[in-house]
Amino acid sequence: MASRSTAVRTRKFKGLDASQRQAERRTRLVAAGLQTFGHQGFQVSTVKDVCQQARLTERYFYESFGNREDLFAAVYQHCVDQLRASLVAALASVPKDPHAMVQAALRTLYRELREDPRMARILFIDVLSAHGDMDKHSLNAMMGFSDLLESYLAVLTPQLTKAEVNASLISTGLVGAVVLLVMRWAVTGFKESIDDMVRNTAVLFEAMAAHVERCCPPAAGAIPSR
């Protein structure tokens, strides 16, 4: 027969056991962190602010997070995952054509950030002033997007290696350039239109494609970059 303490630990509330309730509270805290950090900014937001937004006590905050920086890291990763999923979905929805895929990815990127400025602030502004291991999280995120871009380049521009350029370096450079453009756009209050941002950012990718084609023209029958 189970002991009283075991029965308490396994007792369900609203159909959820203890671990499920903790996971649900953590999800609420991440959502509250996105709202609080995204509107107020990381530097002025407190654990109390987040708990009030989540309608949870600080006891439950420390059940899942050691401090405010830990929550920011979780919110940051949530935004990265959401943005990556949107980009992958956009790329899968268009023909396997370099021009179409660049346009789809860039438009999705800028639209997502313009429609949710909280995400833009967390990913590209407040991350610069957050403490803890955020520099590591930021670098890992950039390298993750660089690897994603490299995987698409390997399929769309197989002649890239013949052009005597390093696909990994090219991908990292393009991602880095896009990150700086997004930072500038967010800091200046999204002054330029999405169309302007897409058109000007696409120049970077078109320049890379043009260089590859000059060095190694695509085989007969291949779809050229525009």
- pLDDT in the model for residue 8: 44
Per-residue exposure over 24-41, b if at least 16 CB sit within 10 Å of its own CB, e if not: ebbebbbebbbbbbbebe
- 130 with 72: CB under 8 angstroms? yes
Quote the longest CA-to-CA distance of the chain: 77
Separate counts of helices (H) and strands (E) for the chain: 10, 0
Length reported for the chain:
226
- pLDDT in the model for residue 223: 46
Residue numbers of the chain with a pLDDT score lower than 70: 1-16, 161-163, 216-226
- pLDDT in the model for residue 171: 92
pTM of the shown model: 0.84
- pLDDT in the model for residue 108: 98
- pLDDT in the model for residue 7: 45
> How many Å apart are CA 123 and CA 144, to the nearest integer?
14
3-state secondary structure of 157: coil
> How many Å apart are CA 200 and CA 203, to the nearest integer?
5
3-state secondary structure of 142: helix
